Copies of this chain bind each other. A is one copy, B any other.
Amino acid sequence: MLRSQPLMTDQDIAAQVRSIALDAKRASRVLASASTARKNAVLARVAGALRGGEGQDVLDANERDMGAAQDANLSAAMLDRLRLDRPRLLAIASDLEAVMRLPDPVGQVESLRTLESGISAGRMSVPLGLIAMIYESRPNVTADAAALCIKSGNACILRGGKEAFCSAQALAQLFETALVAEGLPSAAVALLPTTQREATLALLSLDGIVDLAIPRGGEGLIRFVVENARVPVIKHYKGVCHVYVDQSADYDKAERILVNAKVQRPSACNSAETLLVDRAIAHTYLPRLCKAVTDRKVELHGCPDTLALFPKARAISDGDYDTEYTDFVLNVRVVDGLDGALDHIAKHGSQHTEAIVTEHYGHAQRFLREVDASAVMVNASTRFNDGGQLGLGAEIGISTSKLHAYGPMGLAELCTKKWVVYGDGQVRA
């Protein structure tokens, strides 16, 4: 692995990226049939290294990144995202150990059954092959992504943000060492040696070599990947999530769910950005809901009906309904019952997470059935759309594209299912 980011011509870069990818692809064949014990042993070694002396190498590398970031006058929020310290390193180690404890998805066969011809056929979960992760500056993503790929039997190529390049190098080095120590090819976890745009473009062009690209980060990064990829992409642009409070809602549940969906962690993609209130109850109930969130420092952008009922709200502006604030800001709109809510969500939703609060059976059923989103909730906070909360264990991201995975992508979603057929000499009539 190169230790710095050298200057290369575009052709050099493309050739080098292709060569790294071909090595990783070859390694993926080995990883696909590696035993669960061996894959877990790799993760255990990396976790052990992070807890031990080698953790210091990662902290030293991170210090170099932090120095450069300070020189470049990055924002305090960016610096915080980039920073590693001993507790954060231990948290990464714990995350690796949590992935170790998850069941291995590889080789699992579902719905094996005997068919009329006498053959028995089922679907076996097998790794996708080679996964390209394209992400930004959080150093822990390097470790999480590598761990989930290894556990699911995939090789991966990592392209982290340039701010975190040294940290990513140090972390990737730990994986390479652990792979070799367990007799697996080090090429199964490869960090791109440069974060130059040309390298990413070369990576995204490798149809037939890279089986899947997963971009994680801001909308700009994701659009760049979608625009330029010749390989399949699973993505999520943004989370514009709604809480709809129906005429028949239980008011206490509605207030509790709204507060949790907006306030518990506004920076998360599954936080709510817009409250929709049924006109039938707006007069009595909208002010109470608004107060519950403004008491918690949330700024409101309201539709005209909302302003009439809760004058402290600001007037809604163009584009607000399509904005992911990731902050203490909430749109509020009065809608004409369930159909009004469904129309608003169809127009402004981001296919991420949508919630209804209702005690009306038919409304709950229609909302569940008709809303197009990766997760649709009745009487529960939008914040539950998360791999851990939905029982998948760790996730590599949340997909709002419908192909292959819709919602959190855990180990099972990093696999595909091939048909396996057990016969006894059968032929087709």
Contact = CB atoms under 8 A, between A and B. Distances in A.
Per DSSP, chain A at the interface is mixed
Contact of A423 (B234, B380, B391): B380
Given A115-B391, A380-B119, A390-B121, A416 B423 contact: no
A419 interface: yes
A420 B356 CA distance: 12
Interface string A368-410: 1110111111111101110001110000000001111011000
A425 B250 contact: yes
B260 A428 contact: yes
A207 interface: yes
Interface stretch (A4-12, A123-131, A291-299): A123-131
Residue among A32, A370, A428 with max Cβ neighbours from chain B (10 Å): A428
B124 A421 contact: no
Contacts of A259: 427
A418 B400 CA distance: 10
Contact of A256 (B115, B252, B420, B425): B425
B403 A232 contact: yes
A380 B117 CA distance: 10
A412 to B, nearest CB: 11
A391 B113 contact: yes
Contact of A381 (B260, B383, B427): B427
Given A391-B113, A428-B384, A369 B253 contact: no
Given A378-B422, A384-B119, A124 B368 contact: yes
Contacts of A376: 418-421
A264 interface: yes
A417 interface: yes
B427 A260 contact: yes
Interface in A149-194: none
B390 A115 contact: yes
